[in-house]
Structures are given as structure tokens and as C-alpha cells.
Chains A and B, each alone.
Chain A
Amino acid sequence: MHTLKLLSAFFKVNVQLALAYRADTIVNILLNIMWLGWELLSLSIIFNNTTTLGGWGLPELIALLGVFRLVNTMMVALIWPNTEKFNQSIRDGSMDYTILQPANSMFLVTFSRITVWRIWDLVLAIVLIVVGINMSGDLITPLHILSFILLALSGMIVIYSLWIVLIAFTFWFTKFDNNVTIMQALMDSGRYPVSVYPVWMRIIVTYIIPIAVATTIPLQALRGELSIQKIAIFFLVAVISFIVASLAWKSGLKRYSGASS
């Protein structure tokens, strides 16, 4: 409850920040639509030349694009702005004030900045998923939808946890400004099903920087391609990675000595 209140407070503050730059918001949304157009055009070029890509058809790829946008929104609306603020706070010591506050520091560090206009992206993402699934004519049962939501959340938790681990490294190496670049760099791989990639790339985007866990796999669940056991395993992986991330955060925090004091 306390957490929810904080979250809504953060949200309000960020809405106010965004309202100071209204014209920018409109330009950003227009550019965002332009990029959507480009993404759809690139899919249509691919499917002008083939009927399946890694075993998936055009409707499935449109839905995948939607799932990709869900994860990408987390990346650009949450991970980017907060990391920037966090890196700054480690360098100049303003992290002191965050730790002093009577709330979970990991929560404060990861949710205090929200790029509000990106919520538009979430709407688009859901539209893409619904349109894609409708076009494909796949039979979707409520159970599929449930397992999709579960795995999409699991995937996001995995990415979130990886992010925590990466930024926790900053406690050890103060000048570690590139902590999330590697995630962002591999992000684009999530636009396409992991089955099109050569084995070594598949290993990287599934196990090392698990973008595919948050994109391809939830969509597979939505299409009813995953067994209950697999779904349970991915959920378990998410829980474990969140625990590992919290531990990494705590031990990192112990190393923090404050730049100013």
C-alpha cells in the first residue's frame, strides 16, 4: 500500500515534469508513430519475400512487435531515465539522500523517474498484440491469456533484475556509466522470434542478456505452445533472479561510502 502511494506520487511528479514540455511530447509521439510505420514496413518487406520467419507468420510477428514494445517501454520509460539519475547520484554523492528516506532504496532508485508520454507506447503495444493474434486466427483460451500475462511479467522481472545487478556494479566501479548499454544494444533482437538466429546468438539473447525470455517466450505462451511445466520453470526463474538481484543490491549498497562525505 505504502509502495503504491509512493508510485502514484512519483507518477504525479513526472506528469508535472512532462507538462512543462508539452510540444516536445507531441513531437515525440509523432516520431513514435513514424517508427511504428517503419517497423510495419520492414515486416511487410520481409513477408513479401517469404511466408514464414523462423516458423512464424506475419500476424505472429505483429503480435511479437507488440510484446517487444511492452519490454522496450520499460527500457525507455523506466530503465534509461532512472539509470541516468542513479549514475549521477553515485558520482556526486546525492545517493545519500535516497538512502536516508524511509523506503526501500532499490524501489526508490528504480521508480523515481518515469517518462510519462511512453504510456502511449503501452497502448500501441496492446493494440499490436490484439491485432496480430486476431489476424493469425489462433484459438486463444483464457488460460493462454493468463499464462501470457504471467510470462510477460516474469520476463520483465528478469530484465528488471538484470538491470538491478548491472547498476549495483556501479557501487564497486564508480565510473561504470555504461551499465545498461549492453541491454539496450541487444534489445532490438527482441523484434524477431529467437528461432531465426544462429545458435550462438540464441544463447546470448536467451541466457546471458535474456531479451528473448521477455519477448518470444510470452508470445509462445499466448499461442499455447508451452507446457505447464515450462511456464512454471520460467516463473521460477523470474522469482530466483529477483532474489539474486535484491541480494546484489544489498551487498552493493554496503559498499557505498558517499562521494561528498
Chain B
Amino acid sequence: MLKIFQRLWQVNWAEQWQYRANLMMYLLFWLVSPVIYLAIWTSIANAKGNVNGLTANDFITYYMTLLIVDQITSNIVIHTFAYKIQDGTLSGELIKPIHPMLTNALVNNIAFKILTIIGFIPVWIILFFLFKPDYSSVTLIGVLLAIPMMLMGFLIGYLLTATITSLAFWTTRVFSIHDFYFALSLLFSGQFVPLTLMPKIIQNIAQYLPFRFQLYHPIQLILGRLSVAEIIQGYLTAGIWLIVSITLFNWVWRRGVKRFSAVGA
């Protein structure tokens, strides 16, 4: 099994490496909105002293950390997989004795991630000197606690998007469905603003949804802004969501593959 992953890694790394210029453009794309939000909220915090108890530095560290966490927990599976179902190229992968979504596509995502992270590091350092975040609240324990959370956040996000991608077995409008999912995640993940500034009702709903484990929760862990009870509750909820997303994905995938009729093959 390890050998298979090793080979998949070589193939996918080489494939992503070909598109390195595209990757840098993608990176730019994805950097802009957090930087805009950072600018907006620091300008408000600077004008008022603080926003609901958050200082300008709190916002700077929040969004600077968000850039890193998002890099780790996000995925592009819908863009690399949905077309395979739609144009039938999936059939070639289905005859292999490995799960297409959980091996090849996953490794492809990770190769993509690592390449973008390489391009991202110098950009982050430049932003660091431009915004000068004060990271004194970060502790080693916080970072160590955040690592498994980011991993869970990535897996939950990956499985849920993979589930949406699998809906391509039934409908041609997966990208519209994904747009809707993306809007939910904007609302509940803490992408736009630290969740504590959201309306109360959104905060309450966000507690029970999986989106915050991809951004808000790991960021707060790294910055050391959570109580012990919140940390434990976070791990438990994320664990439940991980189980839910595994089950959901499996169920949808199995039914989908049964329906699959490989157009064109």
C-alpha cells in the first residue's frame, strides 16, 4: 500500500509541477480576500481603539494565521475530479484496485498543496513585514493542539467536498451546489471575520457545523484564545463530524458508482 502511495505521489507531483505558473496565480487569487478583510478590520480597530474587544493586532494575527491554516485545510478536489465523472475518464481509474477519491485524488491535492505552500512562504514573509503582527500570545502547546485539528479540518472538508463532487453521478450542476456549500462556509468558518463578531444566531449555528474546524477553530487554538472546555468540546464535535463525513461520503460514493455508466467509453 505504501508503495502505491509513493508512486501516486511521484506522478501527481510531476503533474502539478508542470502547472507551477498556474499555481502561483491561484495563490494570488486566494491571498487577496483575507488581506482585504485584514485591511478593513484593522482600519476600523485603529479608528475605534478596539472592535468588540479585539485590537488591531488581534485582527492582523487572525488573518495572517488564517492564510496559513487555509493553505493546509482547503482542497481543490471538485476542480480536479468532477470532470472525470462527467466525461467518463473515471472508468480508467475504477478498474484499478484502489479508491480513486481516497488515493489518487487525495495525493493530487496534497501535491498541489505542498507546491503552493512553497510559493506561499516568501509571500507570507513579505506580508509579515508589511503588517508586523505581534505573535507573543502564541504558545508551543497551542500550535501542537492545532495540528491535529487542522488535519481533522482538512479531512472533514475534503470528504464533504468529495461528497458534493460525487453528486456529479446524478447531476451536471455540481459546481452550483458547490457554490452554495462555499457560501455556507464563508458564513460559518470565520473566513470573513472572527466568528465572535458574527450575529449571535450565526455564532450559535456555527458551533454545530463543521466549517469552523477549517479556519476559526485552529486559528484560535494557535493564537491561544480558547478555554480548556472549548478545546475539548471542539475536538469532540470535530470527531463526530469526521465520522459523519466518512459515512456520508461512503454512502454517496457507493450509490454513485453503481449509477455510473461511463459516457463515451
The answer to whether A198 touches B39 (Cβ under 8 A) is yes
Binds A, one of B73-81, B115-123, B185-193: B185-193
Which residues of chain B are near A197, meaning CB under 8 Å?
36, 39
Chain A's closest residue to B54 (CB) is A49
Which residues of chain A are near B40, meaning CB under 8 Å?
46, 53, 192, 196
In the bound complex, how far is the Cα of B152 from the Cα of A159, in angstroms? 42
B28 at the interface (CB under 8 A from A): yes
Minimum C-beta distance from B33 to chain A (A): 5
The answer to whether A46 touches B44 (Cβ under 8 A) is yes
Q: How large is the interface on A (under 10, 10 to 19, 20 to 34, 35 or more residues)?
A: 20 to 34
Which residues of chain B are near A185, meaning CB under 8 Å?
25, 28-29, 31-32
**A interface secondary structure, majority:** helix
B252 at the interface (CB under 8 A from A): no
A142 at the interface (CB under 8 A from B): no
Which residues of chain B are near A54, meaning CB under 8 Å?
43
Per-residue interface assignment for chain B, residues 113 to 155, with 1 indicating a CB less than 8 Å from any chain A CB and 0 otherwise: 0000000000000000011000000000000000000000000
Best-buried of B32, B173, B193, B199 by chain A (most CB within 10 Å): B32
Chain B's closest residue to A28 (CB) is B176
In the bound complex, how far is the Cα of B25 from the Cα of A181, in angstroms? 7
Which residues of chain A are near B47, meaning CB under 8 Å?
50, 52
| Residues of A26-84 whose CB lies within 8 A of B | 27-28, 31, 34-35, 38, 41-42, 45-46, 48-50, 52-54
B243 at the interface (CB under 8 A from A): no
Minimum C-beta distance from B133 to chain A (A): 14
Minimum C-beta distance from A36 to chain B (A): 11
The answer to whether B25 touches A50 (Cβ under 8 A) is no
In the bound complex, how far is the Cα of B33 from the Cα of A192, in angstroms? 11
Minimum C-beta distance from A238 to chain B (A): 25
Which residues of chain A are near B236, meaning CB under 8 Å?
none
The answer to whether A201 touches B180 (Cβ under 8 A) is no
B14 at the interface (CB under 8 A from A): no
Minimum C-beta distance from A72 to chain B (A): 14
In the bound complex, how far is the Cα of B41 from the Cα of A48, in angstroms? 12
In the bound complex, how far is the Cα of B35 from the Cα of A189, in angstroms? 9
In the bound complex, how far is the Cα of B22 from the Cα of A77, in angstroms? 22
CB contact between B197 and one of A45, A188, A192, A200 (< 8 Å): that residue: A45
Which residues of chain A are near B187, meaning CB under 8 Å?
38, 41
- Say yes or no: A189-B44 contact (C-beta < 8 A), given A49-B52, A181-B29: no
Minimum C-beta distance from A34 to chain B (A): 6
The answer to whether B32 touches A53 (Cβ under 8 A) is no
In the bound complex, how far is the Cα of B130 from the Cα of A200, in angstroms? 9
The answer to whether A49 touches B197 (Cβ under 8 A) is yes
B21 at the interface (CB under 8 A from A): yes
The answer to whether A181 touches B28 (Cβ under 8 A) is yes
Which residues of chain A are near B186, meaning CB under 8 Å?
38
In the bound complex, how far is the Cα of B39 from the Cα of A191, in angstroms? 13
The answer to whether A45 touches B198 (Cβ under 8 A) is yes
| Residues of B183-217 whose CB lies within 8 A of A | 183, 186-187, 192-193, 197-199
CB contact between A177 and one of B22, B31, B35 (< 8 Å): that residue: B22
- Say yes or no: A198-B36 contact (C-beta < 8 A), given A53-B43, A182-B25: no
The answer to whether B25 touches A27 (Cβ under 8 A) is no
Which residues of chain B are near A45, meaning CB under 8 Å?
192-193, 197-199
The answer to whether B29 touches A27 (Cβ under 8 A) is no
Minimum C-beta distance from B30 to chain A (A): 8
- Say yes or no: A24-B173 contact (C-beta < 8 A), given A46-B44, A50-B44, A182-B25: yes
In the bound complex, how far is the Cα of B41 from the Cα of A192, in angstroms? 12
- Say yes or no: A49-B44 contact (C-beta < 8 A), given A27-B173, A31-B179, A34-B183: yes
Sample of 17 further A-B pairs with CB below 8 A, known A49-B51, A50-B48, A196-B39: A27-B173, A34-B183, A38-B186, A38-B187, A45-B199, A46-B44, A49-B197, A50-B47, A50-B51, A52-B47, A54-B43, A178-B21, A185-B29, A188-B32, A189-B32, A196-B40, A198-B131
24 A–B contacts from the bound complex (CB under 8 Å): A27-B176, A28-B176, A31-B176, A31-B179, A34-B183, A35-B183, A45-B198, A48-B197, A48-B199, A49-B44, A49-B51, A50-B51, A181-B25, A184-B29, A185-B28, A185-B32, A186-B32, A192-B36, A196-B40, A197-B36, A197-B39, A198-B39, A200-B130, A201-B39
Chain A interface (Cβ within 8 Å of chain B)?
24, 27-28, 31, 34-35, 38, 41-42, 45-46, 48-50, 52-54, 177-178, 181-182, 184-186, 188-189, 191-192, 196-198, 200-201
